[in-house]
Amino acid sequence: MKNKTDLSFAKLFNLSFGFFGVQIAYALQSANISRIFATLGADPHQLSFFWVLPPLMGMIVQPIIGKYSDKTWCSLGRRKPYLLVGAIIAILVMAMLPNAGNFTFTQSVFLGLNAAMWFGLFSLMFLDTSINIAMQPFKMMVGDMVNEEQKGLAYSIQSFLCNAGNFAGFIFPILFTWIGIANTAPEGVVPDSVKWSFYVGAGILILCVLYTFFTVKELDPKEYAEFHGIKEEEKQEEASFISLLIKAPSAFWTVGLVQFFCWAAFLFMWTYSNGAIASQCFGWDGVNAADSAFQDAGNWVGVCFAIQAVGSMLWAAFIPFLEKRFTMKGAYAISLIVGALGFISCMFVNDQYILLVSYALIGAAWAAMLAIPFTILTNALQGSKSMGYYLGLFNCTICLPQIIAALLGGVLLNLINESQSGMMVAAGVLLVLGALSVYLIKEKH
How many other C-beta atoms are found inside a 10 Å radius of the C-beta of residue 236? 8
Residue 229 falls in which region: left (phi positive, over 0), alpha (psi -120 to 50) or beta: left
User: CA-CA distance, 264 to 256, in Å (whole number)?
Assistant: 12
Q: Per-residue pLDDT for 372 more than 90?
A: no
Question: Which one has a higher pLDDT value, 274 or 198?
Answer: 198
User: CA-CA distance, 71 to 236, in Å (whole number)?
Assistant: 11
What integer pLDDT is reported at residue 388 of this predicted model? 65
4 neighbors 147 (Cβ within 8 angstroms): yes
C-alpha of 234 from chain center = 34
User: CA-CA distance, 346 to 327, in Å (whole number)?
Assistant: 30
List domains and CATH numbers for the chain: 9-440 (1.20.1250.20)
| Mean pLDDT to the nearest integer, 136-165 | 80
Question: Which one has a higher pLDDT value, 310 or 99?
Answer: 310
Question: Which one has a higher pLDDT value, 74 or 173?
Answer: 173
**Could you report the per-residue pLDDT of 55-75, keeping only the tens digit for each?**
777 777 777 777 777 777 777
What integer pLDDT is reported at residue 444 of this predicted model? 60
What integer pLDDT is reported at residue 429 of this predicted model? 95
Q: Per-residue pLDDT for 351 more than 80?
A: yes
Task: List beta partners, residue 77.
Answer: 74
Mean confidence (pLDDT) of the chain = 82
DSSP class of residue 157 equals: H
Closest CA to 178 of 163, 151, 197, 162: 197
Phi, psi angles (nearest 5°) of residue 114: -80, 175
How many other C-beta atoms are found inside a 10 Å radius of the C-beta of residue 13? 17
164 neighbors 109 (Cβ within 8 angstroms): no
What integer pLDDT is reported at residue 233 of this predicted model? 46
What integer pLDDT is reported at residue 174 of this predicted model? 87
Closest CA to 176 of 295, 272, 78: 295
What integer pLDDT is reported at residue 236 of this predicted model? 46
Q: Per-residue pLDDT for 178 more than 60?
A: yes
Out of 89-93, 98-102, 311-315, 343-347, which region has the weakest mean confidence (pLDDT)? 98-102
What integer pLDDT is reported at residue 107 of this predicted model? 59
DSSP for 244-306, please give it: HHHH--HHHHHHHHHHHHHHHHHHHHHHHHHHHHHHHHS---SS-TTSHHHHHHHHHHHHHHH
Question: Which one has a higher pLDDT value, 34 or 183?
Answer: 183
User: CA-CA distance, 230 to 249, in Å (whole number)?
Assistant: 18
Share of the chain above pLDDT 70, in %: 87
Give the pLDDT band of residue 143 (cuts 50, 70, 90). confident
Residue 251 falls in which region: left (phi positive, over 0), alpha (psi -120 to 50) or beta: alpha
Q: pTM for the whole thing? A: 0.74
Question: Which one has a higher pLDDT value, 365 or 224?
Answer: 365
| Mean pLDDT to the nearest integer, 317-338 | 89
Q: Per-residue pLDDT for 387 more than 80?
A: no
Q: Per-residue pLDDT for 172 more than 80?
A: yes
109 neighbors 100 (Cβ within 8 angstroms): no
Residue 106 falls in which region: left (phi positive, over 0), alpha (psi -120 to 50) or beta: beta
Q: Does an H or E element contain 110, and which?
A: strand 109-110
What integer pLDDT is reported at residue 95 of this predicted model? 86
What integer pLDDT is reported at residue 24 of this predicted model? 92
Share of the chain above pLDDT 90, in %: 21
**Could you report the per-residue pLDDT of 393-421, keeping only the tens digit for each?**
777 888 888 889 888 888 888 888 878 88
Question: Which one has a higher pLDDT value, 86 or 72?
Answer: 86
User: CA-CA distance, 263 to 398, in Å (whole number)?
Assistant: 6
| Mean pLDDT to the nearest integer, 18-30 | 88
